Structure 1
């Protein structure tokens, strides 16, 4: 009996030691990975906290937040400049719109805390996002929504065009956030999805209650709109409008199959990790056939 207890004690100690070393190893890996990804020197404890909360506050983000007022709304913390205060009611109204429309299309999605930073300075937004000529962006790594506003008085007066662009930015970026939450723990994650599908859905919800008038644009093959690098290249080609193209592709799907088709495609891709296979199974269309059909409908 004593021998058994001794062997059991040694075995248990060995298991605990192995688990301890494993946890330390994972911690070191997480720490080094986050430092490499963010290009910042991050304290070890902070890196573990970031990993556990799935949220990273970089130096630039901290400075931006420190120089803004703060208000919590639902699971969203809004950081905004002093002269933006009058627009907070419209911002909350639009966030409710975004939440309700996403719920209508996708059902209830489990959400985490997310930050919304409001910019008046376009250059400041570009420096944070690393993107050129954008009115907003979403970073899943940072759990951060960002939008730019201008012409505050016209938005307050609810003039159609300024109000449309302001609200569209919020609707669009919040939809990116919900999409990221839907696919976060799926097989393949967000990388399983082409960017045209992700952006097209955000444009579709961003244009909710709006009639988008078609305009001429040069079509980019969907297989050239899969990742971020391809997307940025296509954005700046003469005659293209990849946002509008992606919008009309998603609009075609909704018009012909109903809004529920978007959730069906996502659920199937989440299970298989294969977007094109899931897309074809759900719609009976290949991506090439979608190109032809949406173009015919659009024309």
Structure 2
């Protein structure tokens, strides 16, 4: 009887999810029901064993949920959050105070399952749930993904390499921007649906200092077809559309024409007027005329368009994170090699030599550490010592 009851309950849940998906896909229900449906579905995917790996770290009004392996990268996240607070204040004159949860998944299947209920963009790399003030992200390799902020590389079956050009920093900044803008709108009693999705997403990529690739086959999408969430998802799932790129470029164009203050002024004007009327009044031109300007420029761009300077390097924070990472993952030779380069460029010869010698004591059979010590000596014209290290590297390589 108990087994039959479990089957019935499971069936009811699945039927409820299917019905919920139907209604979400038809755009009938708001995000609260979508969240409930997603939460029920996640009880099937997210096991207790998976959840038990999470620990919680508090920083200001942020709650970061992560596994133990992510701990060395927390200083990097703190630095990013501090920077985002500054950028939020510069753009909106506002720093959000609502508690924000940032959950870092470590299993790609679980992360993808979070975004699988209802209408969703294919290949999403992060998302923000405004109902529960939570950002969901993925960090499979703390060293590569977070500390070095390197995009993930996929090797395709035909031998080609596919690089995901969106790194951890850009994803976090993008999703934080949604949190900041939504908090600003809540503070000013402006409903979220009053702001078209292209404007919201464009601001997010603008604040993320994102670098995007403009391609020859990219369609231009009329802005009035990027107003709703459903419009956005349908556009994202068309391979010739790039709504993120177009929306980001729209915000850059607007800022170049009128200055950064125009973003805040348009949003605040929506307290009294529609978005279109607010845009017309604040920008001094109609949305239709702005779209014509945007389209003329957009069609002619068929190259990598560098919209901003390179983001801040966070060198000191990266050094601190790498030092912590090596304590936790002492056998990951990649981190030793990278930290030695940071030391050489930022701490000088003595500290770098000491670090590499200590690293070799821990891993005397690792040829790459001997090579980096040889390069250090070579760069400082200590050629005899460099040759000794190169010979040791060669000897170890022959053993393998």
TM-score normalised by the shorter chain: which range applies?
0.7 to 0.9
Mapped to 2, the partners of 1:35 and 1:239 lie a distance apart of: 31
1:111-190 matches, cutoff 5 A:
111-129=97-115, 130=117, 131=120, 132-155=122-145, 158=148, 161=151, 165-184=167-186, 186=188, 189-190=191-192
1:97 is displaced (CA, Å) by: 1.4
* TM-score, length basis structure 2: 0.56
Mapped to 1, the partners of 2:40 and 2:58 lie a distance apart of: 17
The change in CA–CA distance for 1:265 and 1:36 in structure 2 (over 3 A counts) is closer
Q: Deviations over 1:48-107 (max 9, x none)?
A: xxxxxxxx9997599676541110111110001222112111111111111111111111
Aligned residues: 249
* Partner in structure 1 of residue 158 of structure 2: none
Mapped to 2, the partners of 1:175 and 1:62 lie a distance apart of: 30
Mapped to 1, the partners of 2:230 and 2:114 lie a distance apart of: 18
Q: Is the 1:196–1:225 contact (alpha carbons within 8 Å) kept by the matching residues of 2?
A: yes
* TM-score, length basis structure 1: 0.74
1:102 aligned to which of 88, 91, 112 = 88
Q: Deviations over 1:271-291 (max 9, x none)?
A: 225101001111122222222
The change in CA–CA distance for 1:277 and 1:62 in structure 2 (over 3 A counts) is farther
* Partner in structure 2 of residue 82 of structure 1: 68
Mapped to 1, the partners of 2:47 and 2:195 lie a distance apart of: 31
* Partner in structure 2 of residue 17 of structure 1: none
User: Which structure 1 segments of 5+ residues have no match?
Assistant: 1-32, 41-55
Secondary structure of 1:184's counterpart equals: helix
1:59-74 matches, cutoff 5 A:
66-74=52-60
Compare CA radii of gyration and give the structure with the larger one: 2
1:195 aligned to which of 194, 197, 200 = 197
1:142 is displaced (CA, Å) by: 1.0
Q: Deviations over 1:155-213 (max 9, x none)?
A: 46636656961100110011100111111254550000110000000010112xx6545
Cα RMSD (Å): 3.0
